[in-house]
Amino acid sequence: MSDNDAVLVTEDLGPVRRLTLNRPKALNALNHELLEALDEAVAAAAADDAVRVVVLRGAGRAFCAGYDLNEDAAGEPLDAAGWHEALRVDTERMLALWGCPKPVIASVHSYCLAGGTDLMLACDLAVAADDAYFGYVDIRFGSGVVSMFLPWVVGARTAKELLFTGEDRIPAAEALRIGLVNRVVPRDRLDEATLELAEAIAKNEPFVVQMTKRAVNRAWEVAGFREAMAANVELDALIEAANLPSREEFRRITQEQGLKAAIAWRDARFRGDA
């Protein structure tokens, strides 16, 4: 799978369409090409009557390590208007996944961080391997959360603790306890267990499943979900455009020494990591 040139691999397993993020060398970090491919694949699955459930997983060593910080560092600095547009587009992409009429199941192993956690939360359900780790580290280098799904899933108090601390080592068992995922299974059973859940859903009447998903999503919308997401885009644009010293230093180290060095600098400030 990881040798395939496509950044997203699509396969049909009966009524289940499985989408595999395929940038394993980058831990499936979300760059422009991958996000575009995911957009197109989700739209295609939504329009295909033969598809009843979508599964999203990652190739290689991780589900998704977040947005591609190398791509971010290589780009030109943005002003507030530029950041607002970039964040709006990224959030709309996540909302398109959330709004897909077919149920979407995230199949998560190893790292599921920052934008990767956004991606997982945009799915309807999540099955995690027992080696999975979750969290948002954005605050540790002066950045904000792109898509604010977290408080809608786990509640405001838990979300605040995770976001304020920048915790990114939440193990699968804890993720299950706080409601971040639905199930935890042994790593070697992840694909099998996810497919079993997808097939159980696919046995039901598609129209009823899709209308039920719409009804549950509508409950969030009535409570102001979309307005809250738009407000987060506005506030996050202010954070990103503030040129905070920690953000600028992280960007500088990434440009000059590479992402690995920047992450080591970031973590050393909070954990004393070597």
pLDDT, one tens digit per residue, over 219-270 is: 999 999 999 999 999 999 999 998 888 888 888 898 889 888 888 888 887 7
Greater model confidence, 73 or 14: 14
Output the pTM of the full model.
0.93
Looking at every residue in the chain, the average pLDDT score rounds to: 94
How many residues are present in the chain? 274
pLDDT, one tens digit per residue, over 189-220 is: 999 999 999 999 999 999 999 999 999 999 99
CA 152 to CA 220: how far, in whole Å? Answer: 8
pLDDT confidence bin for 13, thresholds 50/70/90: very high
Distances (CA, A) of 48 to 4, 20, 40, 51, 248: 24, 18, 12, 6, 45
SS3 state at 214: helix
Domain-wise residue ranges, the chain:
8-271
pLDDT at 16 over 90: yes
CA 254 to CA 213: how far, in whole Å? Answer: 41
Angle between helices 206-222 and 225-241 (to 10 degrees): 60
SS3 state at 132: coil
pLDDT for the residue numbered 269: 76
pLDDT confidence bin for 4, thresholds 50/70/90: low
Rg, the chain, Cα only: 18
By the 8 A CB rule, do 172 and 178 touch?
Answer: no
Q: Is 148 exposed, middle or buried (0-12, 13-18, 19+ CB in 10 A)?
A: buried
Distances (CA, A) of 189 to 14, 118, 119, 130, 256: 19, 24, 22, 10, 41
Tokens of 153: 């899933």
By the 8 A CB rule, do 66 and 144 touch?
Answer: no
pLDDT confidence bin for 92, thresholds 50/70/90: very high
Beta strands in the chain (DSSP E): 8-13, 16-21, 53-58, 104-108, 111-113, 125-129, 133-135, 170-171, 183-185
H-only helix segments in 57-189 = 69-74, 80-98, 115-122, 150-154, 156-165, 172-177
Chain CA centroid to CA 203, Å: 27
CA 111 to CA 105: how far, in whole Å? Answer: 17
Cβ neighbours of residue 222 under 8 Å, at least 6 residues apart?
Answer: none
- Stretch 3-15: mean pLDDT, rounded? 90
pLDDT confidence bin for 273, thresholds 50/70/90: low
Instruction: Say what percent of the chain tops pLDDT 90.
Output: 78
pLDDT, one tens digit per residue, over 137-167 is: 989 888 899 999 999 999 999 999 999 999 8
DSSP 8-state code for residue 79? -
Q: Which CATH code is given to the segment(s) 8-271?
A: 3.90.226.10
pLDDT for the residue numbered 71: 84
- Stretch 45-61: mean pLDDT, rounded? 98
pLDDT at 1 over 50: no
